[in-house]
Structure 1
C-alpha cells in the first residue's frame, strides 16, 4: 500500500492555533477528519457520547479525530499553549480499512511521522494533500519497523564492536575469536548461529559487508582499485579482486565500468542488509 492509494482532500490548514491559559473548545462535531499535535503545553481532549474517551495530549503525540465525533478540548490552565492541526476529507481510504478501526493517537517518536508533521506546516498546495495522505497511511498502518531492531543480541553486540573497530574509516577483517568475544559467545556457537541465520560464518558475513562498501566506492568515487581495497581492509588489490569477483561475478574494474548489480545486492540476498545498514549506512 502507498499514499497514492488514498484520496484525501484538505479542508482547512495546516496551521497553528495559539491559546491563552485555560481556553476551551466545544463541544463540537466535525464533518471531517482532523489531525492535531501539540507544539507547546498540554490539553485534555474528550469524546462524549455512547463511547466516551478522554486523552491527555502533550508534545510528541498525534491525535486523529473522526467525522461525526462530539469532542471537547480544555487547554493547560497555567500557561499558553499551541497546537498544529489540519482538517481533511478521505474520499477513499483504499486498503486502510474502515476508519472506525483506525488508531486514535500515535506517538511521534518514529521517523518519518514527526518529519511529515513538520513538513505539513511548511508546504503548500498541491503538496499538502500528498504529504497528508502519506502521514495518514503511516498513522493508520504504523511506521515500518526498523530491520536493525530485529538483530539477535549476539549480532547486535558484534556490530557495535565492528563499528568501534572501523571508526577510523578502514573496514578491517577481524578474527573469529575476536568476533565471538565481542558477541559474548564461543567461536563455535557464533559460527553455528551465523550459518543458521545467514548461510555463512561470521568472518564471511563481515567480508560480504566490506565488499558491499567496496562496491559503493567503485561506483561512487574515483579511487583506484588498490585504494578501495585498502579502505575496505584487504591486504592487496589482487586479493580484493579475487574476493570481489566471487561475490559480484565480475572484477572490480568491470563492475565500475558496467555497474551490473546493486552494490548491496549480495548482502540483501544473504539476509545481511540490517547488519550492513548498521555498519555502513548509519556511519557518519
Structure 2
C-alpha cells in the first residue's frame, strides 16, 4: 500500500514509523540530506546502499556505507545518518520493522561499539551477489503492496520499480503483506551476513568484557551487579568496572539497563504478559521503576507502547519519513 503524502526525505527531528509497521522505501539523496533522532527509532532500521556513500551514527559508533554494505540500527539508541560529506549522492533501500529473533545471530559478528550501541555493519558483500540482494529488496517493496484487491507486480514476474517522482515508500498492511515483506528482507539479511567477511576481532574488547556482555544478554532478568559480573570473569569489581568502561565507552550498569530495556520491549511486542511481569522478567526491581526508565527511553509508558504496536498493525497509519 503506498504511503501517500510522505515527504521524499525525512528532516532532522522527524519521528520514525510507529513500532509494529513494516515500511520499505528507496531513496537517492543529495548533499544536505540527513536524519537525526536523539531518542532513536521505535523499530529496527535496515539500510542497503546501492550507490554513493552514506554515514550512519548510533550511540558512540559510526560507519560509512558504500555500495554493497548493509547497515542495521537497533531500536531505542540515539542515531543520525545522511549523505557522506563530499559525496555527490547516496542511493539506498531502507526498511523499518520489528526484526525476527532469528536474525540476531546472523548480525552479531558485525556489531560495532559494544552491545549498547546496537549498530551492525555488514559488508562489503561480494559484487556477484549485489543483484540478488537488491532483488530481495525489490520483492519486499512489491510484497508490501499486497492487498486483497491487487496482486503485486513482482508476484507476476514483473520487476517492482518505484515510479519516477515517487518517494518510493510503501507500508505493508495485512498479515500476508507483512509476512511476505519480512521474508524478502530475511533473504537480503541472510545473503549479506553469510557472504560478507566479518571484521577481524579487534584487540578489544577484552575477552572478559565480552563474557560479561554475553552473560547480560543471555539472562537480562538475573540479579546482575558489578560485583557479581566481576566475580564471574575473575576480576575485582573496581578493575572490572574500569576495564568495561574503557573498552565499551559505557559503564556495566548502563549496558545492563540497555539490554534489559530491549528485552522488555520484545516482551511487550510479542507477549500478553502484564507490565509487572515484564518488569520482573527483565530484571527491574519494580514496575514503577521500569515504567519510569522505559518512558525515558521510548517517550511512552510500557502499556501505551504495546497498544501503539497493536494499533499500528491493525490501522493503516502512514509513517512520516524514514
TM-score grouping bracket, smaller chain normalisation: 0.3 to 0.5
Using CA pairs under 8 Å that are at least 6 residues apart, name the structure with larger relative contact order, 1 or 2.
2
Q: Which has the larger radius of gyration?
A: 1
Give the structure with the higher percent strand. Answer: 1
